[in-house]
Chain A
Amino acid sequence: MRFDIVVVGSGPSGAQAAKEAVESGLSVAMLDVGFDEPALAASIPERSFSELRRTDAGQRRYFLGSDGDTESDVNDRIGGHFTPPRAYIKTAVAELVPVRSSTFFPEMSLALGGLGAGWGSGSQVFEPFELERAGLPAAEMGGYYDAVARDIGISGARDDDTAGTSLPASGVFAPAAIDTNARAVFAAYGRHRDELHRRGFRLGRAALAMLTERDEAFAARGRLSNPYLDMDFYTDARRSIYRPKYTIEELRLRSNFTYIDRALVERYRAGEDGVTIGYRDLRTGAGASVEASRLLLAANPLNSARIVLRSSNAIDVKQPLLCNPYHYIPTVNLAMLGRAADDRRHSLAQLVGSYTPEHRGGEHVFAAFFSYRSLLHFRLVREMPLPPSLGLLVSRLLMNALTIVGLHHPESPSQRKWVALRSDDELEAGYELDAGERAAVASDLSGIAGVLRRLNCMPLSVIATPPGSSIHYAGTIPFASDDSGPAISCAPDGQLNACPNVFVADSSTWRYLPAKGPTLTMMANARRVARAAARELRP
């Protein structure tokens, strides 16, 4: 089989790269492992969280899972990415794409839609200085952002203080309604706005890849507005929140698109007029291959690096690695203590804050504000040094006032953050912040604690998550236009240097990782790279 373009991976980057290539009329194949288990999520009745809690005798299936495991996962202490209906997202990762490390603990996925199957849907654009620093052309990116926003549906507020630095120019729906807790935080922000601006902090309603109002074009594609059932960590009710699998489903209706699942890409061999891509068929265990004029890698920065290093026979060659340091800060919103809260809400980030302290020299630290309810009490109680009965009492008293602030810090390359393919064919990673980076992170935390107190949100603790748990990865095959970069690098359009028929379409190419959610930019860049790869192939 030979195709014009083969895309590896079905995550946000792969889906958008494939869409761009298919729309240009080329023959496109996607190689993907593509695990998908929608049955459990689909079996959840479309009722609100509180109603399900009171009435559904079968709720353990989706709240606890079949094994009832309530133990804390290293990367899942509070997060809602991997609830039982979404546990399949991590299927077979440790066996098929292991990463050896004692300092870096990444999450990866071989699911249909990749990690996008559990994406929290935060959708911010990068500012021009962030794009340029990452190596992305600021002048070109606006059009790609708009194309993605129109395709996936983004909600956000144009009149919020964060809008100018985070929303695409077009394709934006009304902001999602915020819950009682977030309204109290937002009101406190309004009262102290000038002072908080002087401290470098701005707050706004979260921009989300979520439909908030009925739109006929999206309805025709099977996507409706969010029902505010507070079950978004468990189901994709009405498909209001974008998942890459929706794009793949649409592409599969096109005659010039072929989806090959259970295909684990291992290496490629580049020739003068094309590329042979070798993969393992996971159904049979046998090796197989396809040919293409161009290969687009979008397998996530760790797996794309693994494929490139293996194909280049680059053993023990260290490539850079970027991953945002991440903390979360459980806080009690004093304005909500002892107060009742609305039942109607969504589960994702309610508010986002951009914190630009002086010591960062213009860089932003990014805070997402979540309310806590649908992840149940047990995740909180197991963290408390109290007997469960007392822990439950505390949790019930605090539940409506609990505000979890997830804090991402910006990330630049250094010698101590790297990946390398070893002679036993395993990918190894090392990750350590240097003293300057640790000091900057500590200053971020100190500054944001003061901001939170001004918002009436009293920090209970600051929880440092293990390196890798932010799920924001980049930089393993970076843009480099001269010999000063790492051994393997890409041209500005994503073309792999010394390998003109191979392009890297995911965030592997970025030289810098802003603290904002990277997914929207990953998708926009994937479209840009796909267009570059298709340039000389258009029929």
Chain B
Amino acid sequence: MLRPSAEQMQRFSLRETDPEQAGSFEPIARGPVVAILALIGVGIVALVAMPIRLLIVSIRRR
């Protein structure tokens, strides 16, 4: 339910294959500590936002 929509992915893939934006899609390699902290941060944001996103998705589907 919370996966990106086809339209979102269409836009995403067009950006990803634009050579001028290639830098925004490079792997991030700033060491394991930064990587772990960033992943924890994403997890917290995703958890906090999940109820709101679920609500929005279910309203849109009605």
Contact = CB atoms under 8 A, between A and B. Distances in A.
Contact of A56 (B13, B19, B26, B33): B19
Interface string B8-49: 111111101101001111111111111110110010011000
A340 B29 contact: yes
Given A54-B22, A337-B36, A378 B13 contact: yes
A338 B32 contact: yes
Contacts of A398: 39
B13 to A, nearest CB: 4
Contact of B9 (A57, A382, A386, A399): A382
A332 to B, nearest CB: 9
Contact of B25 (A377, A382, A387, A400): A377
Interface residues of A, number: 41
A384 interface: yes
B3 interface: yes
A390 B48 CA distance: 13
Given A59-B19, A383-B3, A70 B28 contact: no
B51 interface: no
Nearest to B53: A387
Given A57-B19, A339-B29, A397 B35 contact: yes
A53 interface: yes
A381 B9 contact: yes
A535 interface: no
A527 B35 CA distance: 52
A400 B27 contact: yes
A378 B27 contact: no
Interface stretch (A28-36, A60-68, A149-157): A60-68
B34 to A, nearest CB: 6
B6 interface: yes
B26 A396 contact: yes
B16 A377 contact: yes
Given A70-B13, A339-B32, A381 B27 contact: no
A70 B25 contact: no
Contacts of B9: 70-71, 378, 381-382, 388
A381 B25 CA distance: 12
A279 B26 CA distance: 51
A391 B2 CA distance: 11
Contact of A63 (B17, B26, B33): B17
Given A53-B25, A54-B22, A391-B4, A378 B35 contact: no
Nearest to B49: A387
Given A54-B22, A378-B16, A341 B10 contact: no
A386 B12 contact: no
A383 B2 CA distance: 10
A436 interface: no
A391 B25 CA distance: 11
A539 interface: no
Given A381-B9, A381-B12, A396 B27 contact: yes
B9 to A, nearest CB: 5
A397 B10 contact: no
A400 B45 CA distance: 23
A317 interface: no
B46 A386 contact: yes
A400 B29 contact: yes
Contacts of A393: 28, 38, 42
B16 A338 contact: no
Contact of A337 (B17, B32, B53): B32
B61 to A, nearest CB: 16
Interface string A352-390: 000000000000000000000100111001111111101
B2 A385 contact: yes
The 3 closest A-B CB pairs, nearest first, are: A338-B35, A385-B2, A399-B27
18 contacts: A53-B22, A56-B19, A64-B14, A68-B10, A70-B6, A70-B10, A337-B36, A339-B31, A376-B13, A384-B4, A385-B1, A385-B46, A386-B46, A390-B42, A390-B45, A394-B39, A396-B26, A397-B42
Interface of A: 53-57, 59-60, 63-64, 68, 70-71, 334, 337-341, 373, 376-378, 381-388, 390-394, 396-401
